Amino acid sequence: MGVILDVVYRSEWDDGFGARGWKLTSTISDQRVIATTAFIGEVSDTSVFVHDIVDHHLCGLGIGGHRNEAIAVFLHALRSNVPIESSITMMVEDLMKSGECGERLETFLPREMLVITDYDIVPRKRFMHSIIQQYGERDIYERLVEHYYMIGASGVRAGLNAWASHGLLNAQRTAIGRCLQTLIEQMDTHMLDLEQTTAEARVYIENHICCASINGRQFDVSVIS
């Protein structure tokens, strides 16, 4: 048993960022999902695209929205031992500044923050500003950090259950993530060598191997536990 994913490559996506890289086919129309390359950055040993696949999609989480990301951050930490704090801080600061979290504030914020808030205030930035005025910036920041941690921790079990429902072993999440990283690096190099502007690919993920097919070219990487 394994998982088959359809992915799309563009040398430049028309997403407002002009990003080069890969997207899951299922997210093409979602402007919140930015295409990514195989670049791993300084903290994690896997790329954002691997994070989108391993910690979001295969764990039953959408890629957009703070609720999904809070849970995915915990799932990422479990497999790669990456710190959680910076990601939580970034989301909290973004919410306090913009009022945007990917859903209605009335459904996302802790109930006690909404007791004396006018739900009809728009836009969301003003909504959030009104809450900060009521409680104070430091108090709201600390409450939100706690809230994000609670959301993330409480969603881990469901995420791992969703992963296992694909026939994938939770004990293999770290190894599969690293295997996918190697696979995507090979796919990325292939596309750059071809100087091709667009391509569709199919990725197969199993407990002991990850494979990809691009226009008849096959890539296979063994999962090393």
What are the pLDDT digits (tens) for 181-223?
Answer: 999 999 999 999 999 999 999 999 999 999 999 989 999 999 9
pLDDT, tens only, 30-40:
877 888 899 99
C-beta of residue 191 within 8 angstroms of C-beta of residue 9: yes
In this predicted structure, what is the pLDDT of residue 31? 78
CA–CA dist 181, 166 (Å, integer): 19
Structural domain boundaries, residue 22 = 3-85+156-222
In this predicted structure, what is the pLDDT of residue 120? 64
> Does any domain span residue 51?
yes
pLDDT grade for 116, boundaries at 50, 70 and 90? low
> Does any domain span residue 201?
yes
> Does any domain span residue 150?
no
> Does any domain span residue 212?
yes
Total domains in the fold of the chain: 1
> Does any domain span residue 185?
yes
Place of tokens 């997207």: 23
Residue 120, token pair as written in the block: 């009809």
Residue 117 has pLDDT above 80, yes or no: no
Query: Residue 15 burial by CB count (10 A; 0-12/13-18/19+): exposed, middle or buried?
Result: middle
Least confident of 50-59, 121-130, 185-194, 198-207: 121-130
> Does any domain span residue 207?
yes
Angle of helix 66-80 relative to helix 137-154, nearest 10 degrees? 60
> Does any domain span residue 126?
no
> Does any domain span residue 184?
yes
pTM for this entry: 0.93
Residue 122 has pLDDT above 70, yes or no: no
In this predicted structure, what is the pLDDT of residue 118? 64
In this predicted structure, what is the pLDDT of residue 119? 62
C-beta of residue 35 within 8 angstroms of C-beta of residue 19: yes
Query: Residue 169 burial by CB count (10 A; 0-12/13-18/19+): exposed, middle or buried?
Result: middle
Residue type (1 letter), 199: A
